[in-house]
Structure formats: structure tokens, C-alpha cells
Amino acid sequence: MPSVGEMMAATVPMARTLNLQYTETTAERAVVVLPDQPEYRNHVGGPHAGAMFTLAESASGAVVLAAFGDQLGRAVPLPVRCELAWTKLAKGPVTATAELARPVAEVLAELDAGQRPEFPVEVSVRREDGAETSHMTIVWTLRPNG
């Protein structure tokens, strides 16, 4: 069975385009690296804001897929809204760490009750020296099929 990172690369063309590297994916956390690539730099030599957004959103999607991939037969995960703050200049490779901010069982209980649950994923993007360059909160939902 393919890993979550392999599934993301196979089904999300933008993840392949940016050469995102999925280094950890569990139902609680995903870690994804955006390598330093000159073709995706901005006017100050760091990763472009669009590339960093895609990195953070992809990390959130990886943790959501790891947590709820077994539910795809009855619901599709979709991002609903997000808030993103850039806090420091990013240079070189950057790493996004996404963490599910609600217990999986709680979200599934809402789905089982016929609701369309929403749940936040917190994503911290850091450069190699450990400084946080941006933070995203992205709210996802599980939309029931049918």
C-alpha cells in the first residue's frame, strides 16, 4: 500500500511540481519539506509565498488523509477556510509541521451523527535554523458522499 506522501504526490500535481518531500505522516502529525529551488524563489531570494502556502496546505492535507483516509468511502475531506501569517523571512529549505487540533474520534462521532464536521489543522513552517517563518490554521471538513 502506498504511503500518504506517495498518494499525495500521485494525486496532487502541485505537490509534485514543487518537489515536496513527505518525511512523516501520522494521524496526528505530518512533516513536509519544500526544498530550496531557485525557480520557486521570490524577489528577496526565499521561497515564494505561493509555494509556502502550498507547502502548508499540503502538510495539512497529509495529516487529514492519514487521520481520515479510511473514511473516503463515505466522506471527502475538503479545506473550508484558512488564516496564514508570515512572521519571518524564509530562506533555503523550509519544513511544515501540521498537527490535527481535534481528536479523530470526536470528528468521526459528528460524522456518524449525520453532521458535516469541521476541524482545524495547525501548521508551523520553519527554516533550517528552527525559526518559524509562517503559521497557518486551516479548517477542514468531511463532506458526506451522496
What pLDDT, on a 0 to 100 scale, did the predictor assign at position 4?
84
Q: How confident is the model at residue 38 (pLDDT cuts 50, 70, 90)?
A: very high
State the average pLDDT over residues 125-130.
Answer: 97
Prediction pTM value:
0.94
Is the pLDDT at 1 greater than 90? The verdict is: no
Domain of residue 64, CATH code: 3.10.129.10
- 100: its cell numbers: 490535527
What pLDDT, on a 0 to 100 scale, did the predictor assign at position 10?
82
Number of domains in the chain: 1
Q: How confident is the model at residue 96 (pLDDT cuts 50, 70, 90)?
A: very high
Strand order in the sheet with 118-127: 21-25, 29-34, 94-100, 118-127, 132-144, 75-86
Query: Residue 130 to residues 92, 93, 94: CA-CA distances in angstroms?
Result: 12, 11, 9
Quote the domain boundaries for residue 129: 4-144
